[in-house]
A and B are shown apart, each in its own frame.
Chain A
């Protein structure tokens, strides 16, 4: 049986700005074998307000609160696999989208996906060649946010 992966949300400072970085951690039970997490994506502070609700819910699911997200936070926020997958999708999907309404649509769409669909898209945008993952990301953006 495949073990569930877990995710971590970490706060990093980039000058005055705060970055939220998402790390994918090795499957539970294998972290003690010297395997470290890999940084999969990040979110800039300027984009924070628009996805605040989604992050706040994901943190809540994992027994954290959004008010703990402060620039000096050193401990990572642990996320379960599903929330981590959704966060990765959201961070990646909105990274180059400018229009606010579109970002909102995408975030809402990802949040409302059934679990299976979220994992499907996660596979589409993370696994495979660079072309296929970037096409996957485009496809999801169009699906959720319109052209």
Chain B
């Protein structure tokens, strides 16, 4: 069977389609009907009854009232109370009664309501608590009985109770019987509670008007019960209608708590009296609700066609594929009934409006629903949406009309920003619209509408009624031919995307405040990755900008970016995109290596290789760093949006705003923490290459173990990262600051170029920056300190201009670094040559020497110089490179040496020597020694020759010669050594000759060799000699 849409099946009433129904139409008002001021829909009985659905309650009420008044013998109730909540149709019932009492059973259009009853018009009194004052107007009645009498019988009736009215004393039974007589009277009293509340404020001789009214009420009910011609219809007497919302009018009367209490008591008393004999009727029962609505909105509905549609729906709801999506009751018989009664609306729509929307105080159940649905109907017909049923999503919050109806009118303005962000926005596509793009129909918006409608309830804050279950959403969406899986997908997308829609356990709901987590997640999506990386770079620059110890160089990618000098130590912070180190790997990244080994654009070898270090990112931490940056940027954007007052954020509470701001601050800290944790690898110059390192100059990688907490504390305490780095380097003993010490001995053994006797102080300084042996030198003060130390300890002297500094005047030494000051090792040739002008030649005392003033010549200082091991440079006493038994003679003639040696042999009981080493002290001695070489015979000789003749400063030549090897090689160099520019002086020279005896040489034989053969050649020249005794077998 073909199903037809609502437009084909239903005919709405004209006024609904034309939209001529003004708002006040829905507010039925009994007083207006009485005064003939009411709109035609209420004032004209014909129209009124045609538009009214004959609910059971209404029909019962009419039957009860008029069977009693018609005198037909059937007994009806004398006192009827209409019990409904707001908007339940009680005013409607009163109007129906009013029309019938005016026109009798021949009232036009009333056939459906009165059945076969036949009655004439009756006297009717309309009393409405809201419009009745407690003060006399003109000469009119003052009290409720005065009003009733006047309403029923005009002035003549009023005269009968005039006295009681004036005195405000309730009339007694006789007076009332007298008043009613045999006339049939219908007394309608609406909003009595409100009147009572006002009446308590009027004092009546030891009592008050409210009490009198209650007495009257009691009398009236008794009279009505006893005589068959009077019926009283009351509306509910509940305190709530007065006190739930204390209107201004009421507060004007009840200006003290005592009065309020008295009013409450009065209402309670009235209720008690009434309830003794009342018949309570409910004009509209729940299940009739939809019928009432349909009747009011539609002229006619073709129920046969409707049945086809309903069957199709039922089939769809019970289909196998939808079982998991829908609640069980959707497959039950009851739901079929719901579908029928709700048609052409979806039962869920009626359900939501009845239970949820109606719980909003000023929605006013029936009227509110009618108003809203009439708009829905008008919209559906105007847009020719020929849908099968009108689903809840037809209340489309993209339309201003509905927003006004549901949001503005119901004082739910707090939802405006939720709407603006997620459902309806003129300027930018709302979140739901983004979901819509994924589907063929606007599923996102449809579901949002459903959830939104379900979120507008009177019970804000509790989750009893607020929101909608997943199954209910599907039920609201389900229609024949629609795949609910799409609804599921759309719901998932909405959940991820909407700022204000949240899931609280099983329910989905719109909230008045945005969901921060979603906001942040969403804002993150808008952050560009490149921007995030830039932010990280900026932060890195900021973090490592401290210049106290280092000169930071950010993201160098080629050697030329890092200058090769002895200025402040260069901290090269490598770009995390260029290179990174993975875990505990010891592999130095190639661009770090190239910068370390090369300098300048020509990529020449780097000279001051001990003056830079690299900070490299950790491979695994990079992503986190970026993520934190994205988070920070997202939060900054949000905070900025808040400050600029963007519409989608306006509803944010101040706590939420504060939370965001705080989150931003935290994110700012965490991005720093992430950077510090990521940049944990320090690549340093080293003397020893680690095992895994590849070729090239040795470097080592040290990795800081930074915990988040530690990093956070450091950052929070404003501890500069340069300081953290320095502490780490010092802990690992790879960097020195002025707090450290480098002993002169260490300098001599490790740093000082061997066999060099002097250098300028500037060279001394530069020496530290070339060789990584001491670790990084973070301050020149340290070098200065070491230089002073050496002077103080007597390791070297320094000549500055005309002054020499030695251990005697070290305290005044300022240790300048320049190319004119010279630092000279003690006890060297150079020392002797350079210091003659400063020391007395005789006693070695500083000039002017008091004792030997005037004497010239070169002299050694008083104390003989402590001999030093030629190999390690340490003082012989401290030397560890030779066995202690090695016999040494420093700077003696060979003649002297063999004599001493003879004594030592006897002292040490030495049988044999393994080897001897002879070292010449100057050029002459060298030449003479080379002449003596054949005398040693055929033995293994090992030569170390290193000499420099430098006459460049005086415009001459430069010769540098270095040789290590055997006798044959040396023989070919001999000519050069001995003859090259014979007159020139050696600037530096060193010749040592090691003679090894395969089976050792006997002590006596050695002495004989020296005494008889060598001494002849060497004459008075000075030599140093070492002789190693052979271990006895």
| A71/B325 in contact, CB under 8 A | yes
Q: Which residues of B contact A139 (CB under 8 A)?
A: none
Q: In the bound complex, do residue B488 and residue A72 qualify as a contact, i.e. CB atoms below 8 Å apart?
A: yes
Say yes or no: is A45 at the interface (Cβ < 8 Å to chain B). yes
A70 touches B505 (CB 8 A): no
Cα–Cα, bound, A70→B495 (Å) = 11
Contact A71 B505 (CB under 8 A): no
- Residue on A with the closest CB to B496? A67
Report which B residues bind A (CB closer than 8 A).
324-325, 327-328, 463, 470-471, 485, 488, 491-493, 495-496, 503-507
Beyond A16-B471, A67-B492, is A72–B325 a contact (Cβ under 8 Å)?
yes
Contact B492 A70 (CB under 8 A): yes
Q: Determine whether the beta carbon of B324 is less than 8 Å from that of A72.
A: yes
A68-B492, A71-B471, A72-B488 given; A16·B503 CB < 8 A:
no
| Residues A52 and B503 in contact, CB atoms below 8 Å apart | yes
Q: Is A31 an interface residue (CB 8 A)?
A: no
Q: Could you write out 7 A-B pairs with CB less than 8 Å apart?
A: A18-B470, A47-B505, A52-B505, A67-B491, A70-B470, A70-B488, A70-B491
**What residues of chain B lie closer than 8 Å to A18, measured between beta carbons?**
470, 506
Using Cβ atoms and an 8 Å threshold, which residues of chain A touch B324?
13, 71-72
Contacts of B325 in A (CB 8 A): 71-72
Interface of chain A residues 39 through 61 with chain B (CB within 8 A): 45-50, 52
- How far is A72 from B322 in the complex, measured between Cα atoms in Å? 10
Tell me, in angstroms, the Cα distance from A13 to B503 when the chains sit together.
18
Contact residues, A14-29 vs B (CB, 8 A): 15-18
A10 to B619, CA, bound (A): 36
Residues in chain A near residue B470, CB distance under 8 A: 18, 70-71
Q: What are the 9 tightest A-B residue pairs by CB atom distance, in nearest-first order? A: A49-B505, A67-B495, A67-B492, A48-B505, A45-B506, A49-B504, A72-B324, A67-B496, A16-B327
- Nearest-neighbor residue (CB-CB) of A50 within chain B: B505
Q: Which chain A residue shows the least CB distance to B494?
A: A67
Nearest Cβ on chain B to A63's Cβ, whole angstroms: 14
Given A13-B324, A72-B324, A48 contacting B492 (CB threshold 8 A): no
State the Cβ distance, B704 to closest chain A Cβ, in Å. Answer: 23
Residue of A45, A47, A65, A67 contacting most chain B CB atoms (<10 Å): A67
Chain A nearest Cβ from B707, distance in angstroms:
13
A46 adjacent to B492 (CB under 8 Å): no
Which residues from chain A contact B492 at a C-beta distance below 8 Å? 65, 67-68, 70
Q: Inside 8 A of B491's CB, which chain A residues have their CB?
A: 67, 70
- Most A Cβ at <10 Å: residue of B463, B485, B492, B504: B492
C-beta contact mask, A1-16 vs B, less than 8 Å → 1, else 0? 0000000000001011
Our pick among A45, A47, A50, A72 for the contact of B485 (Cβ within 8 Å) is A72
Could you say which residues of chain B place their CB within 8 Å of the CB of A50?
A: 505
Tell me which of B463, B485, B495 has the highest count of chain A C-beta atoms within 10 A of its own C-beta: B495
A-B pair count, CB < 8 Å, reads 48
Distance of A66 Cα from B328 Cα, bound (Å): 25
Which residues does chain A contribute within 8 Å of B471, judged by CB atoms?
Answer: 16, 71
> Which residues of chain B come closer than 8 Å to A48, judged between CB atoms?
505-506
Closest residue to B329 on the A side, CB-wise? A16
Q: A67-B495, A70-B488, A70-B491 are in contact. Are A15 and B503 (CB under 8 A)?
A: no
Q: Find chain A residues with CB under 8 A from B495 CB.
A: 66-67
- Return chain B residues, CB-CB under 8 Å to A15: 328
B505, A45: Cβ atoms closer than 8 Å: yes
Given A18-B506, A72-B485, 14 more contacts at CB 8 Å?
A: A13-B324, A16-B328, A18-B470, A45-B506, A46-B505, A46-B506, A49-B503, A49-B506, A49-B507, A52-B504, A71-B325, A71-B470, A71-B471, A72-B324
Please give the distance in Å from A143's CB to the nearest CB on chain B: 24
Chain A: CB-nearest residue to B322: A72
With a cutoff of 8 Å between Cβ atoms, the chain A residues found around residue B507 in the complex are 49
B488 contacts across to A, CB distance below 8 A: 70, 72
CA distance A67 to B502 in the complex (A): 10
In the assembled complex, the Cα of A13 lies from the Cα of B507 at a distance in Å of 16
Q: How far does the alpha carbon of A41 sit from the alpha carbon of B576 in the complex, in Å?
A: 45
CA A129 to CA B32, docked complex, whole Å: 80
Q: With a CB–CB cut-off of 8 A, which chain A residues contact B493?
A: 67
- Could you tell me the distance between the alpha carbons of A104 and B493 in the complex, rounded to whole angstroms? 28
With both chains docked as a complex, state the minimum distance between the C-beta of B958 and any C-beta of chain A, in angstroms. 68
Nearest CB of chain B from residue A51's CB, rounded to whole Å:
9
Q: Which residue of A lies closest to B321 (CB)?
A: A72
**Cα–Cα distance between A121 and B327 once the two chains are bound (Å):** 39
Residues from chain B with Cβ under 8 Å of A71 in the complex: 324-325, 470-471
> A86 vs B471: C-alpha distance in the bound complex, in angstroms?
29
In Å, the complex CA distance between A18 and B493 comes to 20
Complex interface: chain B residues within 8 A of A13 (CB): 324
Q: Which of B463, B485, B496, B504 contacts A65 (CB 8 A)?
A: B496
In angstroms, Cα B508 to Cα A48, docked, is 12
Chain B: CB-nearest residue to A47: B505
Which positions 57-105 of chain A face chain B at CB distance < 8 Å?
A: 65-68, 70-72
- Chain B nearest CB from A115 CB (Å) reads 16
Distance of A68 from chain B, by nearest CB (Å): 6
The answer for the CA separation of A68 and B327 in the assembled complex, in Å, is 20
Residues of A with C-beta under 8 A to B327: 16
Whole-angstrom CA separation of A42 from B871 in the bound complex? 79
Contacts of A65 in B (CB 8 A): 492, 496
Q: Which residues of A contact B505 (CB under 8 A)?
A: 45-50, 52
A11: nearest chain-B partner, CB-CB: B324
CA distance A46 to B493 in the complex (A): 23
A46 to B505, CA, bound (A): 7
A68 to B489 Cα, complex, angstroms: 9
Q: What CA separation (Å) do A49 and B463 show in the bound complex?
A: 11
Candidate in B324, B488, B491 with the most chain A CB atoms within 10 angstroms:
B324
- How many Å from the CB of A73 to the closest CB on chain B? 9
Q: Please indicate the chain B residues that have their CB under 8 angstroms from the CB of A47 in the complex.
A: 505
A124 to B328, CA, bound (A): 41
CA distance A49 to B488 in the complex (A): 19
Q: Which residue of A lies closest to B330 (CB)?
A: A16
B485 to chain A: closest residue by CB: A72
Complex Cα distance, B495 from A48, in Å, reads: 16
Quote the shortest CB–CB distance from B20 to chain A (angstroms). 44
Pick from A13, A16, A18 the residue with the most CB of B within 10 Å: A16
Rounded to whole angstroms, the CA-CA distance of A11 and B127 in the bound complex is: 61
* Chain A: minimal CB distance from B470 (Å): 6
**A45–B503 alpha-carbon span in the complex (Å):** 12
**Smallest CB-CB separation from B325: which chain A residue?**
A72
Q: Which residue of A is nearest B489, CB measured?
A: A70
Measured in the bound complex, the distance between the Cα atoms of B506 and A52 in whole Å is 10
Q: Could you tell me the distance between the alpha carbons of A18 and B488 in the complex, rounded to whole angstroms? A: 15
- Kindly state the separation between the CA atoms of A81 and B470 in the bound complex, as whole angstroms: 30
